[in-house]
Structure 1
């Protein structure tokens, strides 16, 4: 009994210490971001007061870097000071300053260094908002940017929606809002020229489920793999079953390594109908079916499904990171 009480006390103290450390880390991060912002401001204001702007960065930043490094140690290289300068230039107005105050805890200086590499303002705002709302690490931010998430979402949205996304993040109201085009599954480490089966693809996804759910988007909860349904004594198996807490519906995924066929769509229609009639509750939204295939056929989808379809979607997947030029060509 004493051991039980001691364990309970230990866990309570442990949780308190861990939360305190997180709180301290958030405060330190906030202080660092604002300090670097104001250092950038001082550099820009001093630069504007000088006569030879062209040679300013090479001379003054080098001297300033040397002096600060001697006084405070690492963290004040010429490159870092240049990032602080650019940080103030890009965020030095009332709109962007208010954006900093919106994200005081979750975005680190390393996040902003990565964001500053994105030249397009709308695109940068989009990744900044998504990083905060999804609690992306710097590594995940870089992966999402390298996989051209902004461009992939733009394939299924109009210009005004993209502007809204860049300012306040994606708001999931319709099933189409969850879907990227294409899905990028490079983290599965399946080679493009390798002869893999649908079972291999499913197994790789399960092994890297966390990364796959990040690629799916917001609000996804994993339910099961190879979910069985039985109709008149015949068994059918749904490859992957998820629930989306934001859309409040089941999301079923069927994996196809070849070209999409009308039989694939008919099978998914059966899965969706079964869930809607037998599993979903009255307060949940209609089930969503996604056929993740190697080669999509928009014509087959168009003529197999009714024009009012809002439940079944086909999306291609790629096993490598497409270049931004490739996606911009599609756009």
Structure 2
């Protein structure tokens, strides 16, 4: 092709080594396609491996039941499989026992269940640490839903999340009966707040500071669906400004959630204050066409069940009461202070001078 003015040949941009318009936009479109294919391929490999493990475990169980095989036979199977497939990992003696345990625990095809979407390491953790089928299914479903790492899964099992979730005292069955079950499940009792490193004598502002300074950990403890809106969130009612300790929005339930913190025992007056804040959020922040009624939760140092029950029944706003577990008494005092750590760092940098 020639330039009409000069008569010289015009070389297309791509032939001159230049990139055509829209090239980088096209790359941006291609990259997610490749990443998505990689993820799907990894999931498919994991699914096929779990299906194979489950079938191996079931086959061994069936032969053991019919022919009374002992553990030495399983050891020999492990040896033979490793010899036949030297480049494939996973055929150790212990893994074969896990495969049998998996087939025994989940007799239906594994890939049709939530646990079938987890990595093998998560599944062995579940089988090692969970005592009942309810616990196995609870943690498998939550691990899939929340995308927990293996360490996070282990931490939740150790903390007894299946006992805490949905255990917070509340009045939802009366105030929001149609959504009572869903609302109940987003609150726990107790909340595990050891990461704050606070003692049992911490002030409320110290607890609030610790939670907001470690908001990602606190959101993880609260569970899936919570989005942080603000701390000491200001609301003007009449001619007075009030401040909410912590305000969240639950994007799955489409509700604001007011959190009030008390480092003392829960008291009926605390619920009166919380109810006022919930009403204010409903009137001033909630969009009636988009949001359901605001929920309030009081997280206190301790509670008396009967007092809390009576106090909840006297309120017409949907409220819950929970407690928190921090460091055991005396532990905070034994932890090194900032000065201790600075002094230790100085001694290390200077070759242990002054340590005697």
TM-score (norm 2): 0.74
Shift of 1:32: 0.9
Q: Is residue 278–residue 295 contact of structure 2 (8 Å, CA) maintained in 1?
A: yes
Q: Deviations over 1:206-261 (max 9, x none)?
A: 34333322322332222222211123443322121111123221101112222223
* Pair member with larger Rg: 2
Is 1:271 the counterpart of 2:277 in the alignment? yes
Instruction: From the superposition, tell whether residues 172 and 68 of structure 1 become closer, same or farther in structure 2 (CA, over 3 Å).
Output: farther
Is 1:140 the counterpart of 2:148 in the alignment? no
SS at match of 2:165: helix
Q: How does 1:121-270 map to 2 (within 5 A)?
A: 121-153=133-165, 155=167, 173-186=181-194, 188-192=195-199, 195-270=201-276
- Once structures 1 and 2 are overlaid, which stretch shifts more, 113-122 or 147-156? 147-156
Q: Is residue 278–residue 317 contact of structure 2 (8 Å, CA) maintained in 1?
A: no
SS at match of 1:242: strand
Match of 2:78 in 1: 65
Is 1:32 the counterpart of 2:49 in the alignment? yes
Match of 2:322 in 1: 315
Partner Cα distance (1:240, 1:154) in 2:
20
Instruction: From the superposition, tell whether residues 172 and 214 of structure 1 become closer, same or farther in structure 2 (CA, over 3 Å).
Output: farther
Q: How does 1:92-107 map to 2 (within 5 A)?
A: 92=107, 96-97=108-109, 100-103=111-114, 106-107=117-118
Partner Cα distance (1:207, 1:172) in 2:
32
Is 1:111 the counterpart of 2:122 in the alignment? yes
Partner Cα distance (2:39, 2:156) in 1:
25
Match of 1:167 in 2: none
Q: Deviations over 1:277-313 (max 9, x none)?
A: 2221223222111111111233443444444645122
Instruction: From the superposition, tell whether residues 64 and 208 of structure 1 become closer, same or farther in structure 2 (CA, over 3 Å).
Output: farther
Q: Is residue 268–residue 291 contact of structure 1 (8 Å, CA) maintained in 2?
A: yes
Match of 1:160 in 2: none
Structure 2 segments unaligned to the other structure (5+ residues): 1-17, 170-178, 329-356
Is 1:48 the counterpart of 2:77 in the alignment? no
Instruction: From the superposition, tell whether residues 152 and 3 of structure 1 become closer, same or farther in structure 2 (CA, over 3 Å).
Output: farther
Q: Is residue 111–residue 117 contact of structure 2 (8 Å, CA) maintained in 1?
A: no
Match of 1:327 in 2: none
Match of 2:13 in 1: none
Partner Cα distance (1:129, 1:209) in 2:
24
Instruction: From the superposition, tell whether residues 185 and 69 of structure 1 become closer, same or farther in structure 2 (CA, over 3 Å).
Output: farther
Q: Is residue 297–residue 319 contact of structure 2 (8 Å, CA) maintained in 1?
A: yes
- Once structures 1 and 2 are overlaid, which stretch shifts more, 226-235 or 286-295? 226-235
Partner Cα distance (1:240, 1:202) in 2:
8
Instruction: From the superposition, tell whether residues 5 and 258 of structure 1 become closer, same or farther in structure 2 (CA, over 3 Å).
Output: farther
User: How many pairs does the alignment contain?
Assistant: 298
Partner Cα distance (2:127, 2:240) in 1:
56
Partner Cα distance (1:305, 1:85) in 2:
49
Structure 1 segments unaligned to the other structure (5+ residues): 158-170, 322-331
TM-score (norm 1): 0.79
Partner Cα distance (2:287, 2:37) in 1:
41
- Once structures 1 and 2 are overlaid, which stretch shifts more, 308-317 or 268-277? 308-317
Instruction: From the superposition, tell whether residues 315 and 107 of structure 1 become closer, same or farther in structure 2 (CA, over 3 Å).
Output: same
Instruction: From the superposition, tell whether residues 233 and 148 of structure 1 become closer, same or farther in structure 2 (CA, over 3 Å).
Output: same
Instruction: From the superposition, tell whether residues 102 and 62 of structure 1 become closer, same or farther in structure 2 (CA, over 3 Å).
Output: closer
What is the Cα-based RMSD across aligned positions, in Å? 2.9
